[in-house]
């Protein structure tokens, strides 16, 4: 049997060169994949995740409203999607420390109730209609009352962000005090208001809040503006649900 002819040095060099090029391509692809993963991880902060979720809610609400406009009907929000999105917001309350512990505990409990209710009811309208029929809209523990409290929690964060963005010199304590006074204080007892205002002195600084949220000044302001824009249609929609059923909002 004849042995195979020896490979020329030129052929061997070409093969080595091709192998080296292949190794470079593989390394570049791996680096690119790692950079993409790192970028996604870095970009996905708790606040950006909340903004994205509320953007989807607002988009869904607007889409349904457009489809039903010829019938004179408004859009609808699915209770499961709404409660899942609202559950993301609890991290914002925890980042604010002891001063907003009251809001965090109440908010989390109310959202949990809506999550459970979503297994039985499809939309926000259905739980409100059920409580209207039962005369339990304002009854403690009812889904409609809990929805009202969750809506206030969303609005409190919106107002806080608006105050935070109003000026760079505004302390977080001043921003939070103003937001609470606008959104929640009118519905709280004197004892609760007193405790909340006293707790405002324990709030983190602006820089500490940004650190807690894993945001820069620039990214935080961008995401806060996006949250305000995306959450407002949802908040207004919930208000219309009550008003259209002759339920006042002064509670």
| pLDDT values of the chain reduced to their tens digit, one per residue, 251 residues | 555 555 555 555 566 666 656 655 555 555 454 444 444 445 689 999 999 999 999 988 877 665 554 443 456 899 999 999 999 999 998 888 777 887 788 899 999 999 999 999 999 999 999 999 999 999 999 999 999 999 999 999 999 999 999 877 778 889 999 999 999 899 888 998 898 888 888 888 889 999 999 999 999 999 999 999 999 999 999 999 999 999 999 88
Cβ atoms of residues 105 and 222 within 8 Å = no
At residue 180, the pLDDT reads 92
At residue 72, the pLDDT reads 39
At residue 195, the pLDDT reads 86
At residue 21, the pLDDT reads 63
CA nearest 45: which of 83, 111, 91?
Answer: 91
User: What CA–CA distance (Å, rounded) separates 47 from 196?
Assistant: 24
Sorted by where each begins, the domain ranges of the chain are 45-66+74-244
At residue 40, the pLDDT reads 45
List Cβ neighbours of 223 (8 Å cut-off, separation of 6 or more): 45, 47, 48, 50, 51, 215
At residue 169, the pLDDT reads 72
User: What CA–CA distance (Å, rounded) separates 7 from 233?
Assistant: 73
CATH architecture of 45-66+74-244: Orthogonal Bundle (1.10)
């Amino acid at each position: 049997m004849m042995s195979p002819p020896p490979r020329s040095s030129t052929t061997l060099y070409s093969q080595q060169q091709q192998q080296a090029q292949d190794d470079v391509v593989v390394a570049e692809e791996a680096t690119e994949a790692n950079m993409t993963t790192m970028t996604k991880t870095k970009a996905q902060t708790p606040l950006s995740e909340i903004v994205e979720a509320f953007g989807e809610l607002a988009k869904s609400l607007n889409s349904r409203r457009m489809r039903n406009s010829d019938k004179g009907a408004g859009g609808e929000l699915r209770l499961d999607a709404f409660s899942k999105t609202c559950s993301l917001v609890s991290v914002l309350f925890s980042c604010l420390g002891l001063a907003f512990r009251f809001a965090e505990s109440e908010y989390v409990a109310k959202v949990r109730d809506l999550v459970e209710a979503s297994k039985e009811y499809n939309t926000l309208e259905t739980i409100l209609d059920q409580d209207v029929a039962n005369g339990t809209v304002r009854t403690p523990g009812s889904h409609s009352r809990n929805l009202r409290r969750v809506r206030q929690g969303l609005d409190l964060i919106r107002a806080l962000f608006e105050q935070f963005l109003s000026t760079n010199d505004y302390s977080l304590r001043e921003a939070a005090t103003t937001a609470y006074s606008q959104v929640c204080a009118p519905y709280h007892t004197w004892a609760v208001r007193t405790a909340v205002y006293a707790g405002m002195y324990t709030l983190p600084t602006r820089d500490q809040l940004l650190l807690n949220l894993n945001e820069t000044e620039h990214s935080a302001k961008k995401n806060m503006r996006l949250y305000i824009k995306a959450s407002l249609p949802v908040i207004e929609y919930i208000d219309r649900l009550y008003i259209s059923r002759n339920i006042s909002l002064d509670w």
